[in-house]
Amino acid sequence: MKKTKLGEFEEMVLLAVILLKEEAYGVEIKKELEARLGERLSVGSIQSALKRMEEKGFLNSEFGEATNKRGGKRKRIYTATPHAFKVLNEIKEIRAGFWENIALEGSYKTI
């Protein structure tokens, strides 16, 4: 995994960003994750994960349009970098490798 260092929660946020495409901004990401994880999240937790990942080069961002609902404040739309896709793929493969082996043994249930 080298120096990828992607935390579990960060990974979820990253996946949500990719899924939401042009709708990938704070509140949407929050809603998406809340729906999938079944728990309430704070704006702060999402935002700090986004900022960290942007710092680490997993995300790019730019201002989107402003809406009335946000008191005239612009959204920031996030997109995943190629590096992020690469790292996500790596993680997926590593995990898949594990599960493959675990499934082949098929013994953990009997232990």
Partner 1 sequence: MENAFPPKWPGKLLRLFINKDYLEEIEGDLEEVFFDDVEHLSLKKAKLHYTLGVFKLFRLSLIKNLKWIYKIGLIITIMRTIKLAFRNLLKFKTHSGINLIGLSLGLAVGGLILLYVMDELAFDNFHEKGDRVYKVVTASEGGMETNAWPIGYKLRTEFPEVESVLYVKNFPSTAKLNHKDKRYDQTIFYASQEFFDLFTFDLTTKGNRENVLTAPYTVAITKSVEDTYFDGDALGKTLTLADTLDFEITGVIENPPSNSHIQFDVLVSFPTIEKLQWWSYTEGWGNFNARNYLLLKEGIDPSVFQVKIKNLYDENIGDWLDEMGVSFSTELIPLKDVYLNETYYNGFGPKGSKKRVNTVTWIAIFLLILACINYVNLSTARSSYRAKEVGMKKVVGSSRTSIVAQFMTESFLLTSIAFIVGLLLMYGSLPFFNNLMDKEYSVVSFLSLKFITGIVLLIIAVTIGSGFYPAWIISSLNPLHALSGKLGQTFQGLSLRKILITFQFFISSGLVIATFIVISQIDYMRTQDLGFEKEQVLIINATDAPSGSSRDVLRGQLQSISGVHAVSHTNALPGRPGWLGQWAYPEKEGGEQVDTEYMAIDENYAEVLGLQFLAGRNFDVERPSELEAGLIINETCVRAMGWNTPENAIGKEIVSPSQRPAGTVIGVVKDYHGLGLQDIIWPQAMDYRSYSYGKYFAIRYSSEQTYDLIKRIESAWDDVYGDYEFDYFFLDEDFDRQYREENQLAKVLTIFAVIILIVSSIGLFGLISFVALSRTKEVGIRKTMGASIGQIIVILSKEFMLLVLIGNLLVIPLVWHYGNEWLNDFAFHTSINPMIFAITMLITVLIAFITVSVQTYKTAKMNPVRALRYE
Q: Where along the sequence are the contacts to partner 1 (CB under 8 A)?
A: 25-27, 30, 42-48, 51-52, 55, 63, 66-67, 69-71, 73-76
Tell me how far, at minimum, the Cβ of 46 lies from partner 1, in Å.
8
Shortest gap between Cβ of 95 and partner 1 (angstroms)? Answer: 26
SS3 for the chain, per residue? CCCCCCCHHHHHHHHHHHHHHHHCCHHHHHHHHHHHHCCCCCHHHHHHHHHHHHHHCCEEEEEEEECHHHCCCEEEEEEECHHHHHHHHHHHHHHHHHHHHHHHHCCCCCC
Q: Which is nearer to partner 1, 4 or 56 (CB)?
A: 56
